[in-house]
Copies of this chain bind each other. A is one copy, B any other.
Amino acid sequence: MKLKEFAKQLGLSPTTVSRALSGYPEVSEKTRKRVAEEAVRLGYRPNINAVRLVTGRAGAIGVVMGRNEFQFCEFMSGMAERLDSEDIDILVSPVAVQDTKAEIQLYSRLATSGRVDAVIVHSPKPNDERILLLHKLGIPFLVHGRSETNVPHAWLDIDNEGAIRRATSHLLDLGHRRIALINGRDGLTFTLHRDKGYREALEQRGIPFDPRLVAHGQFTDEIGFRFARSLLEQSPRPTAFVAGSMMTALGVYRAVRSLDLVVGRDISVIAHDDVFPYLTADNMAPSLSTSRSSLRAAGARLADLTLQLLAGRPASEIHELWPVELILRESTGPAAEAAQ
Tallying the copies of this chain within the complex gives: 2
Bound-complex Cα distance A247 to B276 (A): 11
Contact of A53 among B53, B112, B251 (CB under 8 A): B53
Among the 9-residue stretches A152-160, A213-221, A331-339, the one with 4 or more Cβ atoms under 8 Å from chain B is A213-221
Instruction: Please give me the residue from chain B that is nearest to A221 by CB atom.
Output: B279
Whether A9 sits at the interface, judged by CB under 8 Å, is: no
**Pairwise interchain contact A92-B76, C-beta atoms closer than 8 A:** yes
Within 8 A of B (CB), among A76-135: 76-77, 80-81, 84, 89-94, 112-115
Residue from the list B52, B68, B258 in contact with A285, Cβ < 8 A: B258
List A40-84 residues whose CB lies under 8 Å from chain B: 43, 45, 47-50, 52-53, 58, 60, 65, 67-70, 72-73, 76-77, 80-81, 84
- Which chain B residues lie closer than 8 Å to A250 at the CB level? 250, 279
CB-contact partner of A221 in B45, B222, B257, B280, under 8 A: B280
- Distance of A43 Cα from B53 Cα, bound (Å): 20
State how many angstroms separate the Cβ of A46 from the closest Cβ of chain B: 9
A interface, over-half SS: mixed
7 smallest CB-CB distances across A and B, nearest first, come from: A80-B94, A73-B73, A49-B52, A68-B277, A49-B53, A220-B278, A89-B91
Q: Mark A244-277, 1 if CB is under 8 A from B, else 0.
A: 0001001100100110000000000000000011
8 Å CB contact of A89 from B60, B67, B70: B60
A283 within 8 A of B: yes
Tell me how far the C-beta of A120 lies from the nearest C-beta in chain B, rounded to whole angstroms: 13
17 contacting pairs across A/B (C-beta < 8 A): A43-B112, A49-B49, A50-B53, A52-B53, A65-B80, A67-B77, A68-B277, A80-B92, A80-B94, A81-B94, A89-B89, A89-B92, A220-B277, A225-B283, A247-B278, A247-B279, A250-B279
